[in-house]
Amino acid sequence: MLYSTFLWRRGFQRDNWINFGLLAAAFVLHTFAMAKRGFTLHHCPVNNLYEATTFVLWTIAAGSLALALLPKLRFLGVFTSPLLFCVGLFALWPGLDAEYIDNIPNFSSDWFKLHVPVILLGYGAFGLSATAGSMFLTQERNLKFHRARALFAILPPIQRLEKIITYTLVIGLALLTAGVGIGAAFVEKDATFWGDSKTIWSFLVWTMYCGLLVSHLKFDQRGRRYAWSAIVAFGFVILTFWGTNLLSGIHNPPIP
C-alpha cells in the first residue's frame, strides 16, 4: 500500500512490476495461510467473520492479479492494495476469529460448503467493480484537469474501465444469486429463516446491485455516477456485513 502511494504521485506514467510483485507475494502467503487453516479444519475456512473476510480479500487479490496481467490494467493493484490492507487489518480485530465448538463449523448442512464460498466470491467480484470504479474516477479526473498526465498515464481508457465495472457486477450478481439460491433451497432452516437479519440483508444487497445493473443497461446510467455507485454499493457491503452477521440467529446459533 505504501508503494502504491508513490506510484499514485508519479501519475502512473511508467510501467512498474514492483507493485504487482509485492501484491503477488502477499497473495501467495495469504493462500498458504488459508490452505493451512482449511486442511487443519478439514473444510473450507469460511465459518466465522475473520475467515469470511479473508476469503473475500483473497478473491479480490486473485482477480486483481489476473486482470493486471493485461498491460493497460497493470496498475489495478495500486487501487486494490489500500482496500486489502485496511479491511485486512480490520479482520484481525479481536473476537472476529471465533473458535469452533469441538472443531465443528457453525452450520451443519453439507450444502453450506458451497453456499458460503459462492456468495463470498460474489462479494469479491463486487470489490473488483469498486476498484475499477476508483480507477475510472482517477482517469476521468486526469482527463478533466490534467490532460498531459492522462495522455502519458499507463491506464486504460474510461470506456474500457466502464465495461470492466459492468462485467464484474454481472459476475458478482450471478454468484450472489446462486449462493443465496443454494442457501434458500438447501441450507437447514426454520420458520425464522426469512426474517433473519442476514437473509433480509442478502436480499437487500441483491436488490441494490440488480438495480445498479438495470439502471446502467436499461436507463443508460454511465460515467462518473456509475463508477461512484459501484464504489458506494461495495462500501455498504463492507460496512454492514459484520453487523448483520453478528445479529443473525442462523449464523450465530446458540451454544449447546
Grid cell locating 187: 441450507
pLDDT tens-digit map of 110-162:
566 677 888 999 999 999 999 999 989 888 887 776 655 554 455 677 888 89
∠ CA 53-109-179, nearest 5°, is: 50
Alpha helices in the chain (DSSP H): 2-10, 18-41, 49-67, 76-91, 112-145, 147-152, 158-186, 197-217, 223-247
pTM: 0.81
The domain segmentation of the chain, as residue ranges, is 2-247
3-state secondary structure of 144: helix
How many C-beta atoms surround the C-beta of residue 22 within 10 A? Answer: 16
- Rounded CA gap, 13 and 71, in Å? 13
pLDDT tens-digit map of 3-30:
888 877 776 666 568 888 999 999 999 9
Q: Which residue has the higher pLDDT, 59 or 41?
A: 59
- Rounded CA gap, 43 and 33, in Å? 14
Mapping DSSP onto H, E and C, the string for 30-50 reads HHHHHHHHHHHHCCCCCCCHH
pLDDT of residue 157: 78
